[in-house]
Amino acid sequence: MKKKSLEKIILIILGPLSLLAIYFFTANWFFYHQIEISRLQNVELKHKYIFNESVATSSGIVYAALGDSLTAGVGVADYEQSYPYLLAQKIAGQDTRVTHLNFSYPGYKTYDLVRDMLPETVASQPDIITLLIGVNDVHNNDNRQKFRRNYEDILQQLSSKTDAKINVISLPLIGSKYSLWPGYRAYYYSKSLIFNNIIRELADKYQVNYIDLTNSTRQYSLTPGYYAVDGFHPADLGYQYWSQIIYDHLDK
């Protein structure tokens, strides 16, 4: 094959690939830019909340929520509208004393949770745990082997060092059409499903409860008011749906 013909073929191949790379880079920039300008990520978290504090009891229930911005309640003006807080309310009801501990931080990936939150979680010896982590692993393009290794480390430590009822929550397919562009959305949705398969496999391995938030929220994602202004994090209505779905399937 002549040199010029080979160069032409290379250009034909590299041209579309370069355009595709530029498109995905721009879509990724736009996604994070929308979150940044919304300023929703600036969340002040209390660590501890007590429900039915006046109830006379020798023990009560300790509920710990582990995760990232979705567990931190990014998207609402007040943490009391977040899904962990609403879930703690449902667990408490009218007559159960519940201490709710929040171990989450916006932007966290599985590695960050292992490094920063696991020791404190184990030390608190909770009775119930919910774990929703991995969205940032997906959007930061971490590979599945790294994700599996970190997620298994979390489950191994929680299951061996606590007696808690552990509930792992699947990664929801979130992001409006205004925040996730075509192609970009399909790629990250497909990767989320791959990571969810890993989560389910590890849940089975460690015999912990798996809660499918992915398929359960598909019907709500187009509901007006579901998303916050950044088009990615849920608003009050979205977290209300989440808390009910999680409560209905919670191992408590």
- DSSP secondary structure, 45-102, as one string: --SEEEESTTS--SS-EEEEEEESHHHHTTTSSSGGGSHHHHHHHHHHTTT--EEEEE
Domains along the sequence of the chain with CATH: 3-248 (3.40.50.1110)
What's the pLDDT score for residue 3? 53
Buried b / exposed e over 209-230, threshold 16 CB at 10 Å, is bbbebbebbeebbeeeebbbeb
Q: Which 8-state DSSP code applies to residue 222?
A: T
Strand order across the beta sheet in which 128-132 lies: 48-51, 98-104, 61-67, 128-132, 165-169, 209-211
Region 151-166 average pLDDT: 98
Token pair of 120 as six digits: 């404190």
Question: Does the pLDDT of residue 111 top 80, yes or no?
Answer: yes
Give the range among 87-91, 135-139, 179-183 with minimum mean pLDDT.
179-183
Contacts for 235 with CB less than 8 Å, ≥ 6 apart: 75, 76, 225, 226, 227, 228
pTM of the model: 0.85
Per-residue pLDDT tens for 189-241? 899 999 999 999 999 999 999 999 999 888 777 788 898 888 888 999 999 99
Token pair of 183 as six digits: 């192609």
Pairing relation of β-strands 48-51 and 98-104? antiparallel
Give the C-alpha separation, 241 to 157, whole Å.
Answer: 30
Q: Do residues 103 and 119 touch, judged by C-beta distance below 8 A?
A: no
Token pair of 76 as six digits: 């609402």
Give the C-alpha separation, 233 to 42, whole Å.
Answer: 13
3-state secondary structure of 166: strand
Question: Does the pLDDT of residue 27 top 80, yes or no?
Answer: no
| Mean pLDDT comparison of 15-19, 57-61, 144-148, 185-189, highest-scoring range | 144-148
Query: Identity (one letter) of the amino acid at 157?
Result: Q
Supply φ then ψ for residue 66, to 5 degrees.
-115, 140
Give the C-alpha separation, 229 to 227, whole Å.
Answer: 7
Contacts for 218 with CB less than 8 Å, ≥ 6 apart: 173
Region 146-172 average pLDDT: 97
